[in-house]
Amino acid sequence: MARIAVVDDDRKLLDLLKEYLENNNHRVSSFTNPAEFLERDFTSYEIVILDILMPEIDGFQVLRRVRESSNVSVIMLTARGDVYDRIVGLELGADDYLPKPFEPRELLARIDAVLRRSRPEIKKFERYTYQNFTLVPDSMKLTVNGREIALTSAEFELLYYFCNNPFRVLSRDIIMESTRNIKWESFDRSVDVLVSRLRKKLRDDPNNPRIIRTIWGEGYMFIAKKS
């Protein structure tokens, strides 16, 4: 069971999703007004299902506000399904993306996948310590230059994979195949967008990388030095 918030200005869809998800043992809070959702303690939710196309405050604006203080998993919904929307959503920190119309069963499957990512199987007390950052998988805790940084479940899983595969050229296909708990998009920039988000949080300059190096035409290599 998960605590889920659904934010969408379509009341009919909200009622349908609330009934369906609650019948599948989830606890659901629904919001037609995104401003009302932002007034709540959204950090108490495990997953936020967020529509993009809403009046006054759109889903991207809501996601920016959420990411200011929380790494709660977010699944974006939109009627357009444009690649541009997917890229923007991923860059802002979304964990998954579902175009409308969709079958409720597909949304439920994606919720289950996101929950698996946010509750990864890891070794207790494992710790990765490098020159400027430390990753503690047991708590999904990332500390960069002494400051704790929130990670989404997808960001955590990719960084955890990099830490376990240092100094290897990792193609985009290998990364996608080896991180099955991440719901990758089919477009070419999907891996690149997530790597870019990680670099920003790790304070890694792509022009002078110390952590993740781009291997042009091939993929990426994790080059961080252990302390």
CATH for the 128-222 domain, from 1.10.10.10, 3.40.30.10, 3.40.50.12280, 3.10.25.10: 1.10.10.10
Pick 178 or 4 by higher pLDDT. Answer: 4
Compute the average pLDDT of residues 107-122.
Answer: 75
Q: Which of 13-22, 43-52, 110-119, 205-214 bottoms out in mean pLDDT, i.e. has the lowest?
A: 110-119
In contact, 222 and 214? CB cutoff 8 Å:
no
Q: Write out pLDDT tens, residues 47-73.
A: 999 999 888 899 999 999 999 888 889
* Residues in Cβ contact with 81 at an 8 Å cutoff, skipping those fewer than 6 apart: 99, 100
| Domain span(s) for CATH 1.10.10.10 in the chain | 128-222
Q: Which of 30-34, 80-84, 221-225 bottoms out in mean pLDDT, i.e. has the lowest?
A: 80-84
Q: CA 180 to CA 154: how far, in whole Å?
A: 10
Assess whether pLDDT exceeds 70 at residue 121.
Answer: no
Compute the average pLDDT of residues 70-82.
Answer: 82
Q: CA 213 to CA 224: how far, in whole Å?
A: 9
Kindly give the pairing relationship between strand 73-78 and strand 47-51.
Answer: parallel
Report pLDDT for 134: 95
Structure tokens at 143: 């500390």
Q: CA 114 to CA 159: how far, in whole Å?
A: 16
What does the CA dihedral 106, 109, 111, 115 come to, rounded to 10 degrees? -170
In contact, 169 and 218? CB cutoff 8 Å:
yes
Q: What is the fold, at CATH topology level, of the domain defined by 3-118?
A: Rossmann fold (3.40.50)
Report pLDDT for 14: 92
Work out the mean pLDDT of the chain and round it to a whole number: 86
User: Residue 130 has what DSSP assignment?
Assistant: B
Neighbours of 35 (CB within 10 A): 10
| Domain span(s) for CATH 3.40.50.2300 in the chain | 3-118
